[in-house]
Amino acid sequence: MQRTVAPSMLSADFGHLDRDTRMIDRSAAEWVHIDVMDGVFVPNISFGFPVLKAIRRATSKLLDVHLMIVSPEKYVERFVEVGADLVTFHLEATQDPAECIARIRRAGARVGMSIKPATPVESLRRWLSEVDLVLVMSVEPGFGGQSFIEGSLSKIRELRAMADELGLATLIEVDGGISAANAREVFEAGAEVLVAGSAVFRAADPESEIRRILEA
Ligand code: DX5
Ligand code: ZN
């Protein structure tokens, strides 16, 4: 199975956004993960469109935008306009997932759907054939630097089995508490894309850390 690492810009140094984005651009990571928080869906506020535009200018890698905002359908087109290649929204954050999916597709991006740690995998069944990716949160969304919730491994396995059963090649991405120490078991559980924020940006050598996660 393919392996991808998506360093999370939430842990970057915002005083050196260009430098940190270019580091990812040079590295073995193929995706750049962007966490957008509104202070309503999660108890934290991160950044929005202008910051995304600046990141877009500094890399040609895939921009993986993770929306932790309520009513994402109101904003998805604008995220695609400023450079998102993939837009992931939370199933718990919208009354109308179908509308959200349709708007992201019409705007020309790939579609991801995410669930929080307490949301069962089964709630994704009816959407699985309509999205390109599912993002399993392995911490409570809102902050970087938390510990990986071990119960996420069985959710990843369950999701992989569900996709196989439905004959779908849906990508599985996992976000929260990932490091070189647990990356192997998360990949082996069935994930293809691992998000890593603090593990990458707190490392003395972030580029080698990305490689260590990729080759775990
Ligand atoms: C948390 C974000 C994550 C976060 C991961 O709500 O969705 O992407 O940046 O950070 P680490 O890798 O430090 O857990
Ligand atoms: Zn994220």
Asked if the model's pLDDT at residue 1 lies above 90, the reply is: no
Asked if the model's pLDDT at residue 15 lies above 90, the reply is: yes
Tokens of 39: 């202070």
| Nearest protein Cα to ligand 1, atom 10 | 144
Give residue 90's Cα distance to chain centre.
11
Any ligand 1 atom below 6 A from CB of 7: no
pLDDT digits (tens, 9 = 90+) for 58-97: 999 999 999 999 999 999 999 999 999 999 999 999 999 9
- Answer yes or no: 35 catalytic: yes
| Nearest protein Cα to ligand 1, atom 6 | 141
Any ligand 1 atom below 6 A from CB of 6: no
Mutate to test the pocket of ligand 1, among 137, 198, 213 (most ligand atoms within 8 A of CB): 198
CA of 155 to the centre of ligand 1 (A): 18
pLDDT digits (tens, 9 = 90+) for 116-160: 999 999 999 999 999 999 999 999 999 999 999 999 999 999 999
State the total domains in the chain.
1
- Output the domain CATH number for residue 90: 3.20.20.70
pLDDT digits (tens, 9 = 90+) for 161-209: 999 999 999 999 999 999 999 999 999 999 999 999 999 999 999 999 9
Could you list the residue range(s) of the whole structural domain that residue 40 is in?
4-214
pTM tops 0.95, yes or no: yes
